[in-house]
Amino acid sequence: MNIIQADNLKKSYGPVAAVNDVSLAVREGEIFGFLGPNGAGKTTITRMLTGVIPPDAGTAMVLGHDIRTAAVQAKQGFGVVPESANAYTDLTAWQNLMLMGELYGLARARAARRASELLTTLGLLERKDQKVQAYSKGMKQRLILAMGLLHEPRLLFLDEPTSGLDVQSTQMILAMLRDMNRDGTTIFLTTHNMEEANRLCHRVAIIRSGSLIAVDAPEKLKMAIESVHRIEVSFDREVAGDALAALPGVTGVERIGDKWQLTAEKQDAVIQFLVAFSQQNQAAIVTLNTLAPSLDDAFLRLTQEASP
């Protein structure tokens, strides 16, 4: 049985169809990535799946409970890190966590033990009795994560948990998610960070303008666009972009910083031509890299292809 089974979800805000007939299934034990450009409807879908807003149409079964008719039972089983949510800034971190404990019906002792564990893991233990007002953004975000994890949920929804955080906080959160997943927690992760999705997720869904356009493993999505190759090259002196574009087999040229990025059908042939080009123009090659298609490429390709 799928841990999340959503069918034909729809949601409109006035004339804007934020979510247009989306169906998706998340399997128990996986990290499911949810990608899409700004305004694609990711947050709206997450809110419908977590029972925060009702869908206009469609159904969602989460942990075997209908999110519309048995919302409390479903919510009891999952944790949420909402996109724009906050902790109570006039309460301390500890008070915030104890409030969560009570709202999830945890015994006081268990809540306290879990809170200590989480605050330790997330490096907030010394500041637990300080008001959240005084926290930095990264500290707040870590606290919000702890609030979603207090009741040891089997399923965790995260809506851009690492946006705007520094490398250290990001790594801390991602490492924690990976550990939890190893221990059996299913994770539904919305993100803009392709690298994050690529490294973390078993499967990703790509959404654009309220519709799902692809759901697959990151490697498979990349393979689907493998016909494109990219080569990055830089020379020790200025060369004309037009001359590079004129090389046989090159389909695109782009200047990126001090480098040129070429797209080509066959990378081997293009590399031969580049070496010849370097000799002819007496411009020595400084760097030469071939780039495998990234999830970025797959994402851009898929989200552009779907445009009308």
Partner 1 sequence: MNPAGLPEQVRRAWAIAKKDIRLYYAKKSVLIFGVLMPVFLFLAFFTGSRQLPLAFLIPGLVGVTLLFTATALSPAIFSWEGRHGTLERLASCPITIEAIVLGDMIASILFGIGITTITIFIGLALGLSLLHWITMIASILLASCCFSAIGMLLAVPPTNEPSTPMMLSLLIKFPLVFISGVFVPLEQLPSWGLALSACSPLTYFTDLVRYSFTGEHFFPVVVDIAILGVFTLVFTAGTMYLHKRTMPKRI
Q: Give the residues lining the site for partner 1 (CB under 8 A).
A: 47, 50-54, 70-73, 75-76, 80, 82, 84-91, 95, 99-100, 102-105, 147
How big, in percent rounded to 5, are the helix, strand and coil portions of the chain?
40, 30, 30
- Decide: is 40 part of the binding site for ligand ATP (CB under 6 A): yes
Nearest distance from C-beta of residue 261 to partner 1, angstroms: 40
Among residues 33, 36, 37, 58, the alpha carbon closest in space to that of 48 is found at 58
Name the segment binding Mg ion (CB under 5 A); options: 20-28, 77-85, 141-149, 192-200: 77-85
From ligand ATP, Mg ion, partner 1, none, which one binds at residue 247 (CB under 5 to 8 Å depending on kind)?
A: none
What minimum distance in Å lies between the beta carbon of 29 and ligand ATP?
A: 25
Six token digits for residue 31: 């990290």
Give dist(CA 270, CA 263) in Å, integer. 9
Closest approach, Cβ 185 to partner 1, in A, equals 17
**Minimum CB distance to Mg ion smaller for 42 or for 229:** 42
Q: Does 43 bind Mg ion (CB under 5 A)?
A: yes
Cβ of residue 109: shortest distance to ligand ATP, in angstroms? 38
DSSP class per residue in 57-70: EEEEEETTEETTTS
Query: What residues contact 280, with CB distance under 8 A and at least 6 apart?
Result: none
- How far is Cα 12 from Cα 16, in angstroms, rounded to an integer? 5
Q: From the list Mg ion, ligand ATP, partner 1, none, pick the one residue 213 interacts with, judged by a Cβ distance below 5 to 8 Å according to partner type.
A: none
Residue 208 binds which entry of Mg ion, ligand ATP, partner 1, none, with Cβ cut-offs from 5 to 8 Å by kind?
none
What is the sign of the dihedral through the CA atoms of 30, 165, 48 and 305? Answer: negative
Q: Which partner in ligand ATP, partner 1, Mg ion, none is near 89 (CB below 5 to 8 A by kind)?
A: partner 1
| SS3 category, 221 | helix
* Phi, psi for 192 (deg, rounded to 5): -105, -5
Give whichever of 41 and 161 is closer to ligand ATP, judged by the CB atom: 41
